[in-house]
């Protein structure tokens, strides 16, 4: 697969970048197919070969996120599938804030009923998880322990009955 990405170039501690078309499997600074432009981040100078970039994109080359942003700043026409990563977007693991609207009447009562049903289901699920013993082996061990405690309880009752008979 062909990618359009930045390849570091320039002197020590003063990087400049080439915008290159390269094979995805190669290292970022190794052989490339073509130089499509240059970018100096210090002066924000950007030189592009727009026709060659458009040809590579038309043939399916994937541009990196940074290159796409640079191309957008120069108003290069991009394919519909080319999208940049939104850095301001919250991660998926965090819950999104939901907008609440105030509703009056039967809809509000239905919402309360649904919420209470959901809470009951959650409590039932929590109880199931609490009661869950885990693996089958653990369940068997728990059953054996229960039988032993029952036997001990029966033996204690028998001894108590025998002692009460002896005293009487």
pLDDT at 30: 84
Percent of the chain with pLDDT over 90: 26
**C-beta of residue 41 within 8 angstroms of C-beta of residue 15:** yes
Report the C-alpha gap between 95 and 114 in whole angstroms: 20
CA distance linking residue 125 with residue 132, whole number of Å: 10
* Segments of the chain scoring below 50 in pLDDT: 103
pLDDT digits (tens, 9 = 90+) for 28-49: 788 889 999 999 999 999 999 9
pLDDT score at 85: 74
What pLDDT, on a 0 to 100 scale, did the predictor assign at position 28?
79
Block residue for tokens 């930045």: 6
The pLDDT value recorded for residue 79 is 81
* The pLDDT value given to residue 165: 84
On average, the pLDDT of the chain sits at 81
Is there a contact between 42 and 61 (Cβ–Cβ < 8 Å)?
A: no
Per-residue confidence (pLDDT) for residue 47, from 0 to 100? 93
Q: Interior CA angle at 111 toward 107 and 114, to 5°? A: 135
pLDDT of residue 90: 67
Question: pLDDT by residue (tens digit) across 51-60?
Answer: 999 999 989 8
Q: What pLDDT is stored for residue 130 in this prediction? A: 63
* pLDDT score for 151: 86
pLDDT at residue 43, as a whole number: 94
Report the SS3 class of residue 38.
Answer: strand
Two tokens, residue 121: 């289901």
Element (H, E) at 47: strand 45-48
Contact criterion met (CB below 8 Å) for 14 and 35: no
């Amino acid at each position: 697969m062909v990618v359009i990405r930045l390849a570091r170039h320039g002197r020590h501690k003063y990087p400049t970048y080439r915008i290159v078309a390269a094979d995805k499997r190669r290292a970022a600074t190794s052989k490339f197919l073509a130089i499509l432009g240059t970018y100096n981040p210090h002066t924000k100078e950007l030189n592009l070969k727009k026709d060659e970039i458009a040809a590579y994109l038309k043939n399916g080359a994937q541009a990196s996120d940074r290159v796409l942003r640079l191309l957008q700043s120069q108003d290069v026409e991009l394919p519909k599938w080319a999208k940049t990563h939104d850095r301001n977007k919250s991660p998926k693991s965090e819950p999104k804030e939901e907008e609440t609207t105030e509703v009056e009447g039967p809809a509000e009562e239905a919402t309360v009923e649904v919420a209470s049903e959901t809470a009951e289901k959650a409590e039932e699920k929590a109880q199931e998880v609490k009661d869950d013993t885990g693996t089958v082996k653990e369940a068997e061990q728990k059953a054996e322990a229960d039988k032993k405690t029952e036997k001990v309880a029966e033996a204690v009752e028998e001894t108590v009955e025998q002692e009460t008979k002896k005293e009487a």
